[in-house]
Amino acid sequence: MKFRSRLVVNLDHLAYNINQIKKLSPQSNILFMIKADGYGHGMIPIGRFAITELGIREFGCATLGEALKLREELNELEFDIYVFSDIQLELLENADIYLKRRIMPVISNVSELDYILHTPEFKNFPICLKFNTGMNRLGLDVNDTPLIVNKLKQHGRSSVHHLISHYANASSDMNDHKINVIQRSSFEEIKKFFRDSGITLERTSQSNSGAIEQKTGLHEISGDTHLRPGLMVYGPSSINADVTGHFKGKLVSTLETYILRVFEVKKGEVVGYNSTPCPEDGLIAILAIGYGDGFFNRYSGAHLYHKGFEGVIIGRVSMDMTHIFFPKEAVNHIKAHEIFTIWGGVPGDLQKFSSETKTIPYELFCALLPRVPRVYRLN
């Protein structure tokens, strides 16, 4: 672990973002997506704060392992956990975990549903169903809706705990994008079929971050009981720049490192692996972060900022260090041992860095390895 490179997580900003989501739809419940170690921010501290300070009672994970860790680390707290993708229900030992640890698998195919319905131990277990309404990833086939309803009835089931779908193009306009319109309509038809067939839907949700930002899937509009925010909880927007949004979040994290060394260079002098030449006279600052920390070589060419000067990552990022080239005007201003903020210091710097590196904020957050400690701040 490093001691001067760190991801500083501002819990006040997390609280602000959750409260903004609640204001968008006061009647909706929040199913907080906390997978991939809280999008790289630390699942356990984020989860504990969300429960004890923000009143969150439902979380979404991707894997059973994530859910089990959340349950074990926060075992004194009351909350529900959903496993959305890697449920591994067919393994006997995993089925036992679901039953004993109050973890709910999200069923995405008929064979998984059959397992639940035919296993006596799951007789009173809540059923969560996910339908593929057009994303063509995981999900029950819409055409199998009558079959699924019949199976539920044959086994004495009169309710579904949570009916779920997921938008594929929520970053685009929810009313103009053809697939968004089809998915919304399809989910409404599925809900209607269940209800017309006498199956109670205790909870329903379709809207992820981009849809929520566009006020789609709110309880007041669609009647869905839940929203499933992911990236937006951590600050960045999930919608395209040309789409109108109704959410302005605060970036939850700041990635900091420090400067190991600075030195002046002349035009043509080379630095680092592969001996990259400097484009002009200037200053090199060597940062104590590299691909061993989840800060990758493909980030070369992206711009970073320090003390009002714009620098650029030059040459190859190495395992433990990164070269930043600054213009000669920065000489005598930028010093060794100073804290250097990679993102979270200048408004919009994360989005710009993401664009320049041809990544998305999800990737930047999740890529950071455990060698970069997470530090939590409040007030």
- Cα–Cα–Cα angle for 28, 83, 86, rounded to 5 degrees: 145
Element (H, E) at 321: none
Please list, residue by residue across 14-52, b when 16 or more beta carbons sit within 10 angstroms of its beta carbon and e when fewer do: bbbbbebbbebbeebbbbbbbbbbbbbbbbbbbbbbbbe
Q: Is 16 a catalytic residue?
A: no
Query: Beta strands 128-132 and 162-164: pairing type?
Result: parallel
Look up residue 140 and give its two tokens: 């029950």
**Tokens, residue 162:** 């949570």
* Among 256, 253, 251, CA closest to 3: 256
Distance of alpha carbon 175 from alpha carbon 233, whole angstroms: 23
Cα gap 296→304, rounded to integer Å: 14
Angstrom distance (rounded) from CA 252 to CA 304? 19
Write down the catalytic residue from 273, 299, 362, 376: 273
User: What is the torsional sign of CA 66, 45, 35, 166?
Assistant: positive
**How far apart (Å, rounded) are the C-alpha atoms in residues 148 and 110?**
8
Closest to 31 in 3D by CA, of 137, 159, 145, 162: 162
Q: Which amino acid is at 18?
A: I
Residues 305 and 311: beta-carbon distance below 8 Å: yes
Contact present, 228 and 60 (Cβ < 8 Å): yes
Bridge partner list, 304? 311
The burial of 236, by beta-carbon neighbours within 10 Å (0-12 exposed, 13-18 middle, 19 or more buried), is given as buried
- The catalytic residues are 273
